Amino acid sequence: MSRKPIVAGNWKMHKNTNEGINFASSVQNKLLKVGNVTVIYAPPFTGLFQLKVSPPYHKSAQNCHWEEKGAFTGETSVSMIKACGAEYVIVGHSERRQYFGETDELVNKKISAIISSDLDPIFCIGETLSQRESGETASVLKKQICDGLNNIESLSSIIIAYEPVWAIGTGLTADAEQIEKAHSHIVNVVSELYKKINVRVLYGGSVNSNNADQLIKIPKVDGFLIGGASLDVESFSSIVQIVEDNEEKK
């Protein structure tokens, strides 16, 4: 896996199929040349199949079930996601943890299933405000990583999205020092578990076109997972452009 930065748009429960298709083509028309960034769209399941993309644009699901098939009403397996042409699956997003009971154990089952199908998880972790205030950030992140990757013996690359829960959809972003510290810690924890692993750490939490330039320059930030600002053509395109330009200058 390359070290190209990633800009991923998590559409959450927004955009029907046609809206998603129109959005992606508007972004592509705006950004005529994207060579240094991997752009990922994560539409709702209903929009996944018909959204046609080609590199540098890619598709991700927002969730999956860990079983291959079975009597699991309302669920979608990784092989079904793969058949839609998606290459990534977001897993462990804080909204899934908070509203849908996604525990570290379930995250682990999902990550195993994703990796077994040769897709890439975008593994989300992050502390709540009270955990940060009580000085537990490092231990919470470590536990989420170790439990999420439990029994996964070999791994050559992983994408982790560090999303402080208190920064998601709130307009608050973590500051540069908090982000650099968390990302370094994440890389260290993962590198202790696996030798020679390519870890990319995305930052997520109120990223927008005004703060992206500052955020992408923070050491160990390999791109973004974006919610709100990924829904608007202007702001999403401008974030991709900022990351593209930043990479070009390196």
Cβ 73 to ligand PGA shortest distance, Å: 26
Q: Which of residues 133-172 bind ligand PGA (CB under 6 A)?
A: 163, 168-169
Write out the catalytic residue numbers. Answer: 93, 163
| Site residue total, ligand PGA (CB under 6 A) | 13
- DSSP three-state, residue 116: helix
Cβ 79 to ligand PGA shortest distance, Å: 25
Task: Answer yes or no whether residue 227 interacts with ligand PGA by CB under 6 A.
Answer: yes
C-alpha distances out from residue 246 to 160, 162, 222, Å: 21, 20, 11
Binding mask 179-208 for ligand PGA (x = CB under 6 A): -------------------------xxxx-
Strand-pairing partners, residue 60, are 88
> For residues 74 and 216, what is the distance between their CA atoms, to the nearest angstrom?
37
Binding mask 6-45 for ligand PGA (x = CB under 6 A): ----x-----------------------------------
How many other β-carbons are positioned within 10 Å of the β-carbon of residue 5?
A: 22
C-alpha distances out from residue 142 to 66, 76, 137, 146, Å: 23, 29, 9, 6
State the residues that interact with ligand PGA by CB under 6 A.
Answer: 10, 163, 168-169, 204-207, 225-229
